[in-house]
Amino acid sequence: MGKIGSVCLVGAGCGKDLITIEGMNALKNAEVVVYDDLIDDGLLSEAPANAEKIYVGKRYNKHSKKQDEINQILIAKASEGKRVVRLKGGDAFVFGRGGEEYIAVTDAGFTCKVIPGISSAIAVPEHVGIPVTHRGVARSFTVVTGHTMDGTYENFEALAHLEGTLVFLMGLHSCSHISDELIKYGKSQDTPAAIISNGFSPEEKRYDTTLKDLAATAEQAKSPAVIVIGDTAGLHFSDDNLYTTEKNATNQPSAESQQAHSVKIESFQSIDENEFLEIHAVEKPLSGVRIAVTGTENFSKKTVETLSRYGADAKAVKTIEIVPKETIDYREINKYNWLVFTSSNGVRIWFEGFKKDGCDLRTLAGIKIAVIGKGTADTLKSYGLMPDFIPTEFTAETLGRELGQKIRASGTSENERVLILRAAKGSKALTKEFDKAGIVYKDTAIYSTEPVAAECNSFADSDYIVFGSAGGVDAFFQHVYELPAKVRLVAIGSYTAEKLLKYTGKPVITAKEFTAEGIAKAIISQKN
């Protein structure tokens, strides 16, 4: 089988330092980079030196390539078996026509992954001290294009009556029309406005003005520009003066217009600092609670991050490691109608092996995928696929029962074949439910868990110990023979809880969902 090409739509953010880690990794592994205007040269240098770089930038009244041409370039390079990165400023799906490119690529039969970027609609105003929302000033914002394919404009009557902040992208050459229409439909001519020119560049410049003077101010500015209209445009957030309407302004609004919107700003400034901090304090129901999270490195770290957000003093203790099985025949996948994954580890291992074996994701066309919960679904999405089924409760039993019911209800259960892809010694509750429903399935262990020795004193001061699998329970008790007297045990599901009960005879707190969030909720409910 020849090498299969792919396309990745990467939102580059607003400069080299604002691309995501995932986006940067995709760029560093690209064989072809198709990039827009305004892409930082330093960012392009992160691509491999031998990577082909194709410029397809667009500017006002000056398009180097039509959109259809860009689509064909992406398809042509993918057809050559290349890893193509389509590098787009900001976010690909915010007026970036990324959706059109996604459709064109996938319709041509190629995988197209999307990596979000930081939109200039938020980042550029924020960089010059303008929040698009702010308590007491604006609680919503609307992003509008100032330039359309057919020359038409937005419904300004509706925009004029919206509360909150208006952010216009690609609207510098339409400022006269924007201000005239908004004022025509009732927006105050003294509404604060700002134009930010060349955001995140050495030539970045902020112009403060009013809606009435927007067009005149625009004559001083250079493209590209972001236009902000609303009371937040009068704010200047800086280290030394958070709420001034005077600092850093290149072009000040008139004294009359400042007075017109000063009431809202003053009412916010009157809020006591302690009241402000109290309002914005994040609830920490697990503050001071010591929790040890056992299991694989990935599971324990993810769970620790979640518990820490609730204030817990949480630590990851690796007690098991994942060992992939070597006997998987990926080329027999077309024998099955359903794939079932019960863990994120299973998804990662199976798809990495699938790709390593030279298989094409198009092989999965017509095959449905079921996952046990949101975490597993998120991992599946990272491979460019959406689950076809998630149970109402994230347990093996519910997954088996509800998926079995769904297959039976289709009227084709006798022809439906299900492939379960999970760890060795997985919960029997899943297969029991399939047996009840008369589902034809193959239960395949694609990985096993091997115990890793952990220091016994890792748990000595713990209030709770968390277990993420039955295999993790076995591994734990191979090395730890005594539990702290007052420690409480937490299991991710009933199967894991049953295993803990057999070892200890102690009550077990059991999460209702197979997720880190589910574990946190279970501990909080018991603590309260």
Architecture of the domain made up of 323-449: 3-Layer(aba) Sandwich (3.40)
Top-tier CATH class for 6-118: alpha beta
CA neighbor of 398 nearest in space, from 367, 370, 419: 370
Q: Is the pLDDT of residue 253 over 70?
A: no
Amino acid identity for residue 501 in this structure: L
pLDDT of residue 265: 34
CA 315/CA 300 separation, integer angstroms: 8
User: Is a pLDDT exceeding 90 seen at residue 193?
Assistant: yes
Beta strands in 225-349, from DSSP E residues, in sequence order: 225-229, 290-295, 313-318, 320-324, 338-341
| Mean pLDDT lowest among 214-228, 232-246, 335-349, 378-392 | 232-246
Residue 389 to residue 368: CA distance in whole angstroms:
8
- DSSP-derived 3-state class of residue 147: coil
Token output for 17: 């330092």
Judge contact between 243 and 267, C-beta under 8 A.
no
Pair 30, 48: CB distance under 8 Å: yes
- With contact defined as beta carbons under 8 Å apart, do 194 and 169 qualify? no
What pLDDT score was predicted for residue 528? Answer: 57
- The CA–CA distances, whole Å, from 258 to 164, 176, 245, 255, 261 equal 18, 21, 8, 5, 6
Please check the confidence at residue 371 and state whether its pLDDT lies above 90.
yes
pLDDT for the residue numbered 263: 31
- Decide: 179 and 215 in contact? Cβ < 8 Å: yes
Q: Which of 208, 211, 226 is nearest to 172 (CA)?
A: 226
pLDDT in tens, 15-69: 778 899 999 999 999 999 999 887 877 889 899 999 999 998 866 555 567 889 9
What tokens were used for 498? 């049953």
The residue-averaged pLDDT of 413-422 equals 86
Q: How confident is the model at residue 184 (pLDDT cuts 50, 70, 90)?
A: very high
CATH 3.40.1010.10 residue window(s) in the chain: 6-118
Burial class of residue 202 (count of CB atoms within 10 Å of its CB; 0-12, 13-18, 19+) = exposed
Under a CB-based contact definition with an 8 Å cutoff, are residues 470 and 496 in contact?
yes
Is 58 an annotated catalytic residue? yes
Burial status of residue 163 (CB atoms within 10 A of its CB: 0-12, 13-18, 19 or more) = exposed
Rounded CA gap, 459 and 159, in Å? 58
The stretch 380-397 carries a mean pLDDT of 87
Report pLDDT digits (tens) over 117-175.
Answer: 999 999 999 999 999 998 778 889 999 987 654 445 568 888 998 888 999 998 888 89
240-258 burial, b at 16+ Cβ within 10 Å, e below that, comes to eeebbbeeebebebeeebb
Structure tokens at 280: 């914005």
In this structure, the number of other CB atoms found within 10 A of the CB of residue 267 comes to 11
From 11, 228, 64, select the one nearest 137 (Cα to Cα).
228
pLDDT at 258: 42
Catalytic member of 53, 58, 301, 374: 58
**Mean of the per-residue pLDDT values of the chain:** 83
Per-residue pLDDT, 238: 52
Give me the mean pLDDT over the 381-407 stretch: 88
469 pLDDT band (50/70/90 cuts)?
confident
Rounded to 10 deg, the angle between the 516-527 and 297-309 helix axes is 50
Residue 168 CA to residue 174 CA, distance in Å, equals 10
Mean pLDDT in residue range 357-361? 77
Task: State yes or no: pLDDT of 475 exceeds 70.
Answer: yes
For residue range 280-333, what is the model confidence (pLDDT) as tens digits? 334 588 988 999 999 888 888 889 999 998 889 999 988 888 888 866 677 778
H or E element, residue 33: strand 32-35
pLDDT one-digit tens code per residue, 210-232: 999 999 999 999 988 999 999 99
Q: Provide CATH 3.30.950.10 ranges for the chain.
A: 121-276
**Best-predicted range by mean pLDDT among 8-17, 398-407, 458-467?**
398-407
Query: Which carries the bigger pLDDT value, residue 98 or residue 450?
Result: 98
Q: Is pLDDT larger for residue 360 or for residue 76? A: 76
Closest CA to 136 of 232, 23, 20: 232
Nearest partner of 462 among 243, 290, 267, judged by Cα: 290
In sequence order, which residues have a C-beta less than 8 Å from that of residue 106 and are 6 or more positions away? 112
- Beta-sheet strands, E only, within 376-492: 417-423, 440-451, 464-467, 488-491
Name the band, by pLDDT with cuts 50, 70 and 90, for residue 393: confident
- For the chain, what percent of residues have pLDDT higher than 90? 42
Question: Does residue 468 carry a pLDDT above 70?
Answer: yes
- SS3 state at 199: coil
DSSP conformation letters of 417-433:
EEEEEEETT--HHHHHH
Task: Tell me if the pTM is above 0.95.
Answer: no
Q: What per-residue confidence (pLDDT) applies to 149? A: 47
Q: Provide the pLDDT confidence category of residue 2 given band limits of 50, 70 and 90.
A: low
Alpha carbon 126 to its chain centroid, in Å, reads 20
36 labelled catalytic: yes
For residue 400, give both structure tokens. 């088996």
Look at residue 481 in the predicted model and tell me its pLDDT: 55
Name the residue with tokens 């809020």. 271
User: Would you place residue 279 in the very low, low, confident or very high pLDDT band (cuts 50, 70, 90)?
Assistant: very low
| Residue in the block written with tokens 């999270």 | 293
What is the per-residue pLDDT for 239? Answer: 42
**First CA to last CA distance, the chain:** 58
> Fold for domain 290-319+452-527?
Rossmann fold (3.40.50)
Q: Say what the pLDDT of residue 114 is.
A: 96
The number of residues making up the chain comes to 528
- Nearest alpha carbon to residue 305 among 375, 371, 372: 375
Q: Which of 36, 40, 208, 231 is catalytic?
A: 36
Q: Which fold has domain 121-276?
A: 3.30.950
Domain span(s) for CATH 3.40.50.10090 in the chain = 290-319+452-527, 323-449
Nearest CA among 364, 335, 343 for reference residue 111? 364
pLDDT surpasses 50 at 400: yes
Active site residue: 82, 170, 187, 231, which one? 170
Say what the pLDDT of residue 457 is. 67
- For residue 270, is pLDDT > 50? no
* CA nearest to 466, candidates 311, 287, 312: 312
**What's the Cα-to-Cα distance from 445 to each of 34, 123, 337, rounded to whole Å?**
41, 46, 18
**Does 1 or 486 have the greater pLDDT score?**
486
* Share above pLDDT 70 across residues of the chain, in percent, rounded to a whole number: 85
pLDDT-derived band at 75, boundaries 50, 70, 90: very high
435 catalytic residue (yes or no)? no
